Structure 1
Amino acid sequence: MSAEDLDNFESDAELHLYREYRDVLKLFKYVVEVDRRFYLCNKVDVQSHSTGTDVYFELTLTDAWVWDVYRTSRFIKSARVVTFKDINVEELSHSDADMDIPSQF
C-alpha cells in the first residue's frame, strides 16, 4: 500500500465517520468532549474525585455513540470514562442538528 493509498483510506474513513455523525446526531441528547474522545449520549453522570491535590472526573455514559474512526461499532450501551483533563458536556437542542463537528476533530 502506497502512502497515497493510505492517505486516501484515512480520508475516506474520516468522511464516512463525519457522515455517520451527522446521521445519528438527532438520536442523542448530550454531546460529551473529553481530552481523547468525543461522545454523543442520552444520559451522562459526572462525578469529580479528589486525591490530595489531584482532581479527576468519572463519567458514566448511557446509550452512547463514540467518535472513533477505528472502531467497527461506534454504538455502545454504556461506558465509564475517567479523565484528569477538563470535560465539556452540552445538552443538545433540536436546532443543534445542523451544527458542525467540533474544531478539534
Structure 2
Amino acid sequence: MSAEDLEKYETEMELQLYREYRDIVRQFSYVVETERRFYLANAVDLAVRNTDGEVYFEVEMTDAWVWDMYRPARFVKHVRVMTFKDVNIEELDKPDISLPDDASFGT
C-alpha cells in the first residue's frame, strides 16, 4: 500500500466517522474532550485527584461514544479516563422538538 493509498483510506475513515457523529450526536447529553480522545456521553463524573502533589483528572462516562476511527466498536457502556491535562466537558442543548429538514413537511 502506497503512502497516497494510506492517506486516502484514512481520509475516507475520518469522513465516515464524522457522518456517524453527525447522525448520533443528538442522542447524547455531553461532549467530553481529553488530551487523547473526544467522547459523547449521557452521564459524566469528573473527579480531581491529588497524589503526592501530582494533580490528575479522573473522568467516568456512561453510555458513551468514542471518536476513534481505529476502534471497531465506538459505543461503550462505561468509560473511565485518567489524564494529567485539562478535561473539557460541555452539556449539549437538547431541543424539545426538532422538525424534519424536508421543507414540504405538513403540505
The interval holding the TM-score normalised by the smaller chain is 0.7 to 0.9
Name the aligned partner's letter for residue 17 of structure 1. Answer: L
TM-score, normalised via structure 2 length: 0.85
Is residue 72 of structure 1 aligned with residue 72 of structure 2?
yes
| Deviations, residues 80-103 of structure 1 (Å, cap 9, x unaligned) | 1001100000000036xxxxxxxx
User: Mind listing any 5+ residue stretches in structure 2 that lack a counterpart?
Assistant: 96-107
What is the total number of aligned residue pairs between the two structures?
A: 95
| Deviations, residues 5-28 of structure 1 (Å, cap 9, x unaligned) | 111100000000000010110000
Which is higher, the Rg of structure 1 or of structure 2? Answer: 2
Q: Percent identity?
A: 59
Kept in 1, the 8 Å contact 2:68–2:74? The answer is: yes
Task: Indicate the residue corresponding to 1:94 in structure 2.
Answer: 94
Which runs of 4 or more aligned residues in structure 1 lie more than 6 Å from their structure 2 counterparts after TM superposition? none
Task: Indicate the residue corresponding to 1:59 in structure 2.
Answer: 59
**Alpha-carbon deviation of 1:53?**
2.3
CA distance in 2, matches of 1:90, 1:41: 10
For 1:22-33, what aligned pairs fall within 5 Å after superposition? 22-33=22-33
Task: Indicate the residue corresponding to 2:10 in structure 1.
Answer: 10
Q: Over the residues paired in the alignment, what is the CA RMSD in angstroms? A: 1.0
| Deviations, residues 40-89 of structure 1 (Å, cap 9, x unaligned) | 00000111111132101111100000000100110000011001100000
TM-score, normalised via structure 1 length: 0.87
Task: Indicate the residue corresponding to 1:47 in structure 2.
Answer: 47
Name the aligned partner's letter for residue 52 of structure 1. Answer: D
